[in-house]
Amino acid sequence: MNPLYIVAGVLVVLGAPMVVRNYITPRSVGITDGALSEVPRSPNGVSSQTDVTGKRVDPLPFQGSVEETRQALLAAAESFGTYRLKTDEGTYLHLVFITPVMRFRDDVEFLLDEEAQVVHLRSASRVGHSDMGLNRRRYEAIRQHYLGGEDRPGTG
């Protein structure tokens, strides 16, 4: 048998689960007991609701009403790139960003806490181990655009 066929077969068998996971929304997406899910153990996610060192980011302050905050978040997300809005439940948003070259999908969630007047964020890659800092850079870009380019106290 041709060795190229063997190599191709091995790549298909090993790569198929990753391809499937890339197209399926993870069970970790969504709200559990009033909070966003914990970020994965791998270094490819950030959250404002985690205590894990190196994965924690600050929540964002409200920008007026829930609707004004929602619109500001969506505009800020758009500043980072193209996304698909998968869920819009008023105080919960789930967006999916797709990387341009490899077409990896990353889930970005916003939970608007009207009582505390903050927006919690969770951004995590669906597949792979490292994201080379992409989820944190996405958070920083969204944060900067959302805050109008200013670094306000308590947000960074």
Do the domain assignments include residue 31?
yes
CATH number reported for the structural domain that contains residue 10 in this entry = 3.30.310.80
Do the domain assignments include residue 135?
yes
Distance CA 91, CA 34 (A): 11
pLDDT tens digits for range 48-80: 999 999 999 999 999 999 999 999 999 999 988
**Helix (H/G/I), strand (E/B), else coil: 129:** coil
Do the domain assignments include residue 121?
yes
Is it the case that residue 151 has pLDDT exceeding 90? Answer: no
Torsional class of 148: left (φ above 0), alpha (ψ -120 to 50), beta (otherwise): left
Is it the case that residue 89 has pLDDT exceeding 50? Answer: yes
Residue 59 burial class via C-beta count within 10 angstroms: exposed 0-12, middle 13-18, buried 19 and up: buried
Do the domain assignments include residue 85?
yes
CB-based contact 41:130 (threshold 8 Å): no
pLDDT tens digits for range 90-135: 899 999 998 777 778 899 999 999 999 999 999 998 877 677 788 9
Helix (H) or strand (E) holding 22: helix 3-23
Do the domain assignments include residue 79?
yes
Do the domain assignments include residue 154?
no
What is the residue range of 37's domain? 3-146
The total domain count for the chain is 1
Q: What is the pLDDT of residue 154?
A: 39
Distance CA 114, CA 119 (A): 8
- Here the tokens at position 32 are 């559990």
Residue ranges of alpha helices (H) inside 27-80 are 66-80
What is the mean predicted confidence (pLDDT) over 131-153? Answer: 82
Q: How many CB atoms lie within 10 A of CB 124?
A: 24
CB-based contact 109:43 (threshold 8 Å): no
Do the domain assignments include residue 155?
no
Do the domain assignments include residue 153?
no
Q: What is the pLDDT of residue 153?
A: 38
Is it the case that residue 87 has pLDDT exceeding 80? Answer: yes
